[in-house]
Amino acid sequence: MKESNDNPKNWHLLKVRTNGDGTKTGFLTRLNKDGSVPAAFINWKYYGNQCSVSIEEKVYEYFRYGWKLLRYRIGASRPWAVLLHPDGYELEVYLESLFEILKDVEITDGELEGFFKWSERKLIRETY
């Protein structure tokens, strides 16, 4: 099923920070209903420090192949899975939601088999 890039639900704001070890971490979000930028996006902090952002742009998020499971971490309020986005930066998703889709997904060398996209802090699998 081909998605339309006219659908505003598929457009996100993206910030990417370069970490000390050279890896990149992304933050995707949508605008608030009133069109404003979410405060969490503006004030994104990393271990209490304001992030040094190397990329900030509007991106179209769509189903694609090439997502890779890197690790998990325990946050202040919940556990997160850290994935490598096909565009080359890390994103975090709710670990429990990832477990749900992994019931029916094969992983080869860390790469998830199938087409997925990020949405609302979850990874969504394309269904036909």
Q: How confident is the model at residue 108, as a pLDDT? A: 94
SS (HEC) of 4-22: CCCCHHHEEEEEEEECCCC
What is the per-residue DSSP string for 21-48?
A: TS-EEEEEEPPPTTSPPPHHHHT-EETT
Band (pLDDT 50/70/90 cuts) for residue 22 is confident
Q: CA of 90: how far to CAs of 4, 28, 61, 86, 122, in Å?
A: 25, 11, 14, 9, 13
Model confidence pLDDT, tens digit, residues 34-75: 877 888 877 776 665 555 665 567 788 899 999 999 999 888
Model confidence pLDDT, tens digit, residues 70-109: 999 888 888 999 999 998 888 889 999 999 999 999 999 9
pTM: 0.74
Model confidence pLDDT, tens digit, residues 119-128: 888 999 998 7
Phi/psi for 105 (5° steps) reads: -125, 135
Spatial separation of the C-alpha atoms in residues 110 and 91, rounded to whole Å: 15
Spatial separation of the C-alpha atoms in residues 92 and 22, rounded to whole Å: 17
Torsion 44-63-80-76 (CA) sign: positive
